[in-house]
Amino acid sequence: MMTLAQKIIARAAGVATVADGEIVTCQVDLAMMHDSGGPRRVDGKLRELGVGVWDPDKVVVVSDHYVPAVDADSAEILAFTRGWVAERGIRHFYDMRGICHVVLQEHGHLRPGMFAVGGDSHSPSGGAVGAFMVGIGATEMAGVLATGEIWIRVPQTLRIELTDALCDGVSSKDVLLHLCATLGMNNDYLCIEYAGSAIADFSMQERLTLCNMAAELGGKTGIVAPDRCTYDALTAIGVETASSTHWRSDDGAAARVHRVALGELAPHVAAPHSPANSASVESFVGTRIDQAYIGACTGAKLEDLHMAARMLRGRQVARSVRLLIAPASTQTTAQAARDGTLQILTEAGAILLPSGCGACAGLGAGVLAKNEVCIASTARNFKGRMGSAESRVYLGSPFTVAASALAGAIADPRELLR
């Protein structure tokens, strides 16, 4: 009897079974890096070792943090990244195409059962397709690039059982903010598996949000067992992979189970300076804002923009608020342009920004000044993350962020949907 995480780790380690807490060495199927923590951090270590990249075809590099360059330092980082990729023969390089976690899945680099690592803390996003993907630091990444291997201590699995259906105006972001409040952010070295009768109703993009924010729960990674939704989504982007019932947890294998009745869940907002400071939106209604930001891998995918457009259609952003929208990828921007979403957003007064990590990581356009208040669809609201340490950031879903931009203060999106 094994969990999904254990099955993937066992396959990567070349053994029949593994147990919680066991330390094994795994073969890496894919390694992902971005411009901030990637080539400029690992190059010196590889040169010191006198080695190259073990398999350039299993490495994906994405420039997303410093794009487009806003100063000479940013430009130098990007120039170094581009030069390194060319020198090392990395074919899978996505330059200014969007945020790494979204780009990785848009281009079909991940498949069910893969063991992958990423040079970013939100790498658990890969669990949306049923892959086991963890975030690692530059030293570990250098080791992976040199050898194609990494050791791991097998994590216990916390199974989140989702039942019922979400109410209109409530999304996966609200589920995660609720979990941050109820479970806290110290679920150390757990694999957060999202399951239950309701998981089939979650799209691939909503599953990405669930797995992405396993990092905010403090977990080692997040994962969803692949199902018909998974295989249909992969087929739609040209990825041929055989459907398998093997990649799921055996009954009773999880160490812990936590249940959430989605029908009872309200939109949630997290107060500064932690995602764990979350409560129902009613607790924050009327809180004045200066900026509303729809961006990041967590909150600016196509479905996130659709949520915002439902709020903004035929309405105008409050004159006292700037609504900034940075689509998660250039593909997202193109799709939103084709289906009319961008027109709805911009006619309502939204300002369109380039795809990339941007203000979520305190880079580029959209950073906050002293005493400014922002509500964002991002994953984190740590002190000073989006600009001045004296600014305040609230977190909400794209529904809630857009509704708040209209009101000039934090608002309940359900009021507009009624």
Q: Tens digit of pLDDT for each residue in 264-319? A: 999 999 999 999 999 999 999 999 999 999 999 999 999 999 999 999 999 999 99
Q: For residue 204, what are its two tokens?
A: 């691939």
| Residues 6+ away with beta carbon under 8 Å from 391 | 368, 369, 370, 371, 372, 373, 374, 384
Closest-CA residue to 374 (of 310, 303, 313, 296): 296
Query: Strand, helix or coil at 338?
Result: helix
Q: Residue 7's Cα: distance from chain center in Å?
A: 23
Residue 418 reports pLDDT greater than 90: no
Give the model confidence (pLDDT) of 356-370 as tens digits: 999 999 998 999 999
Would you state the pLDDT for residue 376?
98
Residues carrying CATH 3.30.499.10, the chain: 4-261, 268-417
Percentage of the chain beyond pLDDT 90 is: 98
Residue 136 — pLDDT band, cuts 50, 70, 90?
Answer: very high
Q: What is the CATH number of domain 268-417?
A: 3.30.499.10
39-89 confidence digits (pLDDT tens): 999 999 999 999 999 999 999 999 999 999 999 999 999 999 999 999 999
- Assess contact for 193 and 4: CB atoms under 8 A: yes
**How much is the pLDDT for 77?**
98
Classified by CATH at the fold level, domain 4-261 comes out as: Aconitase; domain 3 (3.30.499)
Nearest to 338 by CA among 290, 302, 298, 297: 302
